[in-house]
A and B are shown apart, each in its own frame.
Chain A
Amino acid sequence: MLSSQSDRSRLARIPALGLRALALVSLSILLMVLDHRDNHLDAVRRAISAAVYPLQIVVAAPTRFGVWVRDAGATRNELRLQNSRLKVERLLTNARLQRFTALEAENDRLRELLEARRQVRGEVRIAEIIAVDANPYRHNLVIAIGQQDGVYDGQAIVDVNGVVGQIVEVGLMTAQAILISDPDHALPVEVNRNGLRTVAFGTGEFDRLELPFLPNNADIRAGDLLVTSGLGGTFPSGYPVAIVANVTRIPQEPFADVTATPAAALNQVREVMLIWSASPAVESADEAND
């Protein structure tokens, strides 16, 4: 009782509550307009994200601990099995890699013959994911490297199987990425088999992409591999994106209904790789050399 009475007496001292609320609401609207129009507020976001960072670390701690417990609790037998499996895998990969080196050299030689520009190979770095699905309707994730490590806006992210997404926001020690399955994401791709170019849109489901701009007579069929075409400028070309799952041609519609399954396990990744493709300046220098 006493506390409620003292609250009531203090209530009179909230100066102009309505005015304050109005001011803050207008300020929010102003912020939203600025944020929506252009990225005027990146510096502000970056500063606040540094304050949010400890919270994200604490929140991610249980999952990290769980992984640690699972690793520590693995039995000798499991480890031996895993070890032998990895050895076999490595052998196979090495064998494939030998062929790859030869092919790469051959490819370079052929490109030289054709006087085409040599393909740029980017630098790659592994980053740990510290938070996923901050909001269930936007597919994005937070990774544990940021501005300090040279991460930049629009940078491509892949996992071992294919393209995962791209960076949309860089904090001091973290960065936020949008997945290719986000409904707001579109990615220029081409069919690996015949070079047919199109755009893959996210649908909001982790296991489905849409290719809405393919005419009914387009040469595409289920099982085709889609790779990045590199035409959007953000993604380096040639990374696998998805496998065409379903092609439905409706005669009276102008476009075929094509869906694809992402190659990367978008909702299961724990680590991703960031690609530093060579900057435009370097590319143009290469061109000058050629």
Chain B
Amino acid sequence: MISTRAARHLPAVITILLALMLTLVPLPKALAPFRPDWVALILIYWAMTAPSSYNVGTAWLIGIFLDVAQGTLLGQHALALCVVVYITIKFHLLMRVFPLLQLTATVFALLALHQFLLFWINGVTAVTAPAISYWAPVIIGSIVWPFLSMFLTGVRFRAQTGN
């Protein structure tokens, strides 16, 4: 029983870890502002498909991890991810039946909200306001989303049929 349960969680755990790594991996200076928000994307996906297993608590924990790893204010990413995942779960039944284009637009809005929250917190704590390229991850993230969601659905399907 435990082993099947562990197997059920395996795809999510591995993809979340991968997302954390992709967020931390050093990129060349020119590319760094265009790094999509991997963690937010992955958490939106799992909150949409399995909200009972991965909800606000998961998002909050991962956010705290991210805050420590990036040296940002403790709780900043936690709050942003928490809010994004909460909204995703509120609308997850709707999002599941959205056509891909509409879903991508929704994800765009969620990513924008995520970036906005981080921006506001930065503003309140007087971390210097960044340039226009600060919003690039939102656009890149939305472009990445269709491929990511297709890939993750494939992974999930395979994991289910494997058992």
- Chain A residues with CB under 8 Å of chain B are 3-4, 7-8, 10-11, 13-14, 17-18, 20-21, 24-25, 27-32, 34-36, 41, 44-45, 48-49, 51-52, 55-56, 58-60, 62-63, 131-138, 140, 168-169, 176, 183-184, 204, 206, 267
Identify which of B25, B64, B65 gathers the most chain A CB atoms within 10 Å of its CB: B25
- Evaluate contact between B75 and A134: CB separation under 8 angstroms: no
Decide: A36 near B125, CB < 8 A? Known: A14-B51, A21-B83, A133-B32. yes
- Evaluate contact between B74 and A45: CB separation under 8 angstroms: yes
Instruction: State which of B26, B96, B127 has its C-beta within 8 Å of the C-beta of A133.
Output: B26
Q: 16 more A-B contacts (CB under 8 A) besides A60-B26, A63-B26, A131-B24?
A: A7-B49, A11-B52, A14-B52, A24-B57, A27-B60, A28-B78, A28-B79, A31-B78, A36-B73, A41-B74, A44-B74, A52-B65, A59-B26, A136-B33, A138-B71, A176-B71
Q: Please name the residue on chain B nearest to A35 by beta carbon.
A: B74
Kindly list the 6 A-B residue pairs having the minimum CB-CB distance in the complex, ordered from nearest: A31-B75, A28-B75, A28-B79, A10-B52, A136-B32, A21-B86
- Chain B residues with CB under 8 Å of chain A are 17, 20-21, 24-27, 29, 32-33, 35, 49-52, 55-57, 60, 63-65, 68-76, 78-79, 82-83, 86, 89-90, 93, 96, 121, 125, 127-128, 130, 134, 160
Number of A-B pairs whose CB atoms are under 8 Å?
Answer: 128
Contacting residues, chain B, for A267 (C-beta < 8 A) = 29
- Evaluate contact between A24 and B60: CB separation under 8 angstroms: yes
A18 CA to B56 CA, complexed, in Å? 9
Instruction: State which of B57, B72, B96 has its C-beta within 8 Å of the C-beta of A135.
Output: B72
- Evaluate contact between A137 and B29: CB separation under 8 angstroms: no
Contacting residues, chain A, for B33 (C-beta < 8 A) = 136
Decide: A59 near B73, CB < 8 A? Known: A49-B68, A184-B127. no
Identify which of A7, A28, A133 gathers the most chain B CB atoms within 10 Å of its CB: A28
Q: Please name the residue on chain A nearest to B24 by beta carbon.
A: A59
Decide: A35 near B73, CB < 8 A? Known: A21-B82, A29-B79. yes
Identify which of B65, B69, B73, B127 gathers the most chain A CB atoms within 10 Å of its CB: B69
- Evaluate contact between A135 and B71: CB separation under 8 angstroms: yes
Decide: A3 near B160, CB < 8 A? Known: A28-B60, A48-B64. yes
Contacting residues, chain A, for B50 (C-beta < 8 A) = 7
